[in-house]
Structure 1
């Protein structure tokens, strides 16, 4: 699966934003206080952004989704991909990956948080969608053979989109049981309750995670 397939499978912008927020909230509750979470979601962070969602695996692979008033810009990087700028002679994005990015999102190609200290773009996947579009867009890319851009595994939780997929991932990553009913509750966008927090992580409390959950914009049930 390449960026082409991800573009066909990603949900529309509002649903994608809700999904990213849900995954970030689940990571907050499962691993409160950590600075090494996979999934983050919050306001701003880059010019023109209303919200930014991101994934970092700690090994140099990542994606960011910039939600703006114009739509959404998706930036992914597989550091072992032969399409990486570090694997080419010119240090530039793979031909076709960013050539068609519309002007409304083009500044993000040089945004410092998406480049290294030399201005090299850390990018192997690029997608975008304006609010007037009826589908996610991508460039015309001549892939080097196989699913080489990293899109398949980078975006797998977003293209699957099910609570079961997140449960499987979290159970493997955190090496402990993860309550599926609680994951479904958060995926449905229902206010975070003390019972859901306890089901996900008995070692924490709603008060301990409230500030970080609030920063994602996710609703929290009032304390009774």
Structure 2
């Protein structure tokens, strides 16, 4: 039977530090480019809990992902609402094997109510990596054509500023320079120049609250 996309995606995912760094950068870039918090594609909450941070994606069409970073590693859910693996297409049940083998250190993230409806996670994708692991892992899911992992986690798995440039120019329908995106991907402190090159309608002072929530470095 077909192996779902998550098997291939977790082989391309960079290490924990890189995924966390890129996730933070994506949130900052969307903060600069999009003045409406309700329609931002990527978000990052450095205050998710006392010990956790969370990277969130919501595309406004019902698709989403959530990655929780903790001292133990990272745990991720993805949800493609059109996937045949959706709980809504399977009597409100998770696809067999999806969360099998999740380490105990990630059970709180696995069972997080914010990622669930009526106690069932909104998930067609699930993977994780502990600080002791040498690779990302997932459950023994199979027998389906598409779980959405390939496009849901495309920018995180790619890890290059060029990938975000391509995404943002299409999504926001603007022409962007690569250099300020590289600046943000390197987690270098934002400057007025970087902000205004990306979005002439934004000023650095507009972003203080969002930068603090994301936990992005300040100058």
Question: Residue 175 of structure 2 corresponds to which residue in structure 1?
Answer: 177
| 1:154 and 2:160 correspond | no
Question: Residue 50 of structure 1 corresponds to which residue in structure 2?
Answer: 52
Q: By how many angstroms is 1:32 displaced?
A: 2.6
| 1:191-221 superposed Cα distances (whole Å, 9 cap, x missing partner) | 1111100110011100011221122111233
Aligned residues: 216
Unaligned runs of 5+ in 1: none
| 1:100 and 2:94 correspond | no
- The structure 1 segments of at least 4 consecutive aligned residues displaced by more than 6 Å after TM superposition are none
Question: Residue 192 of structure 2 corresponds to which residue in structure 1?
Answer: 194
Distance 1:127 1:34 in 2: 27
Deviates more, 1:101-110 or 1:73-82: 101-110
- C-alpha spacing 1:32/1:220, structure 2 compared with 1 (3 Å): farther
Equivalent in 201, 204, 217 of residue 203 of structure 1: 201
- 1:128 counterpart SS class: strand
Unaligned runs of 5+ in 2: none
Distance 1:33 1:93 in 2: 33
Residue correspondence of structure 1 range 37-116 to structure 2 within 5 A: 37-45=40-48, 49-89=51-91, 91-116=92-117
If asked which structure has higher relative contact order (CA below 8 Å, sep 6+), I would say 2
Return the TM-score normalized by structure 1: 0.92
Q: By how many angstroms is 1:49 displaced?
A: 4.7
Q: RMSD value over aligned CA atoms?
A: 1.4
Distance 1:60 1:212 in 2: 24
| 1:116-148 superposed Cα distances (whole Å, 9 cap, x missing partner) | 1x222200100011101111011111232x3x1
Return the TM-score normalized by structure 2: 0.94
